[in-house]
Amino acid sequence: MSALYLKSQRKLFDIRERLLSNDIRVTEADLKPTDRFLMERFITAAVSIEGELSPRESFNDIAPSSLVAAEYRPQLKAVSIDIETDYQASTLYSIAIYSDDISIVYMVGLADSTSLKTDESRNLEFHQLNSEREVITAFVQKIRELDPDVIMGWNIVNFDLRCLQDYCDRLKMPLELGRNSETIAWRKARDSNDRYYALLPGRAVLDGIELMRSATYQFENFSLEHVSRQLLDRGKLVDDVDQRGEEMTNLFVNNKPALALYNLEDCRLVWDIFGKEALISFALERSLLTGLELDRYGGSVAAFDFLYLPRLHRKGYVAPFVDQSTVSNVSPGGYVMGSIPGIHENVIVLDFKSLYPSIIRTFHVDPLALAVAASQENPIPG
């Protein structure tokens, strides 16, 4: 086994492709170099950095000379955002921002600013601006001023941020929501052209739907109306949720203050769900435990690699490279027995989510154990 060290990722990717094209076996070629750097130092989410510090406007830039794992749990500053549009999402009506300290709505309309009372007796800053461009500009400026670590929402990536990006592209203006006024880096999901991932430099974007799914919550559906009714015993400020697109347009034309209150309440529902279920704490603990980014959902294989591979290396082994494009049966799952239709007096529901790790720990089932078991007479005593 030979180890190759290269000075740039470009050279690394080039060498990897040349080796694979010549049928030369490459181990662990599917790992990101940045992930490897962190995992080999057992750095998950918290890190102690030594280096030269250069203060910037909203952050500190550090040229690191060393990075080591550390024990640290930050208090993250968060805001909840929500946009309202027409039924086709082709026209922006308003953008709301909510937290414990702020209640604000920017809406397209005749330029005016006023204060409204919410149902929790808070003052809502209601700003009407002349155009979509002015609304988006004011929103971006407020995010820059608040400087949150976390921006949360409900389907925030594939609706709110995606729509804002489309509006900005149409208006030929940047959507600078990142720290240092950086724009969003978009990546399409492999399994869908309509599903995106958003990387916001210096901030984490947390989607309530994806985060709750990764935390194994189960609902009949994950609409904000349904989940908020289940968890908070309250919902959207609209008479007919199924026809809310038409009602939003009617409010935008005839009753802008009511639309502002509706928009803000959606933000507040998300904020209260995150608070009641401690979702930011969940995301933080998961990141500290697994090394996954705060806003990465799923990723069970990546989390396993992050924790397992450094320990495998210290046993003197490396892992093979698995080319996902050649795998025909990914995660086939467990065996499902056939049902016995009918009405039964006693039914037992068994949840096996915790069974897999229990079996793994009890019977010492892991890739290395399986690899060496063939040469052992009794690999699992008893």
Indicate which CATH number applies to the domain containing 207. 3.30.420.10
Tokens representing residue 285 in the block:
């603990």
Please indicate, yes or no, whether residues 108 and 214 belong to a single structural domain of this protein: yes
Please indicate, yes or no, whether residues 96 and 110 belong to a single structural domain of this protein: yes
pLDDT of residue 325: 56
pLDDT at 368 over 70: yes
Please indicate, yes or no, whether residues 62 and 157 belong to a single structural domain of this protein: no
Reported as a single tens digit per residue, the pLDDT across 4-47 is 888 888 998 899 899 989 988 888 888 888 899 999 999 998 99
Q: Give me the domain span that covers residue 191.
A: 78-282
Question: Taking all residues of the chain, what is their mean pLDDT, rounded to a whole number?
Answer: 88
% the chain with pLDDT above 90? 56
Please indicate, yes or no, whether residues 226 and 269 belong to a single structural domain of this protein: yes
Helix, strand, or coil here: 356? helix
Inside any domain, residue 271: yes
pLDDT of residue 128: 96
Reported as a single tens digit per residue, the pLDDT across 47-104 is 999 999 988 877 888 888 889 999 999 999 999 999 999 999 999 999 999 999 999 9
pLDDT of residue 42: 94
Please indicate, yes or no, whether residues 307 and 252 belong to a single structural domain of this protein: no
Residue with tokens 């995010």: 143
CA distance 65 to 79: 34
pLDDT of residue 354: 64
Please indicate, yes or no, whether residues 27 and 90 belong to a single structural domain of this protein: no
Please indicate, yes or no, whether residues 190 and 213 belong to a single structural domain of this protein: yes
pLDDT of residue 240: 62
Residue 27 Cα distances to 16, 19, 104, 174, 312, angstroms: 10, 11, 52, 41, 13
Inside any domain, residue 1: no
CA distance 168 to 92: 11
Residue 184 Cα distances to 124, 137, 201, angstroms: 28, 15, 7
What pTM value is reported for the model?
A: 0.84
pLDDT of residue 249: 92
Please indicate, yes or no, whether residues 320 and 249 belong to a single structural domain of this protein: no
Beta strand 150-153 with 78-85: parallel, antiparallel or unpaired? parallel
Inside any domain, residue 171: yes
Inside any domain, residue 322: yes
Q: Are 115 and 135 in contact (CB under 8 A)?
A: no
Among 215, 248, 282, where does a domain finish?
A: 282
Q: Which residues contact 297 (CB under 8 A, 6 or more apart)?
A: 207, 210, 211, 213, 214
Please indicate, yes or no, whether residues 177 and 275 belong to a single structural domain of this protein: yes
Please indicate, yes or no, whether residues 59 and 94 belong to a single structural domain of this protein: no
pLDDT of residue 141: 97
CA distance 65 to 50: 6
CA distance 328 to 29: 19
Number of domains in the chain: 2
Inside any domain, residue 293: no
Please indicate, yes or no, whether residues 263 and 206 belong to a single structural domain of this protein: yes
Reported as a single tens digit per residue, the pLDDT across 123-150 is 899 999 999 999 999 999 999 999 999 9
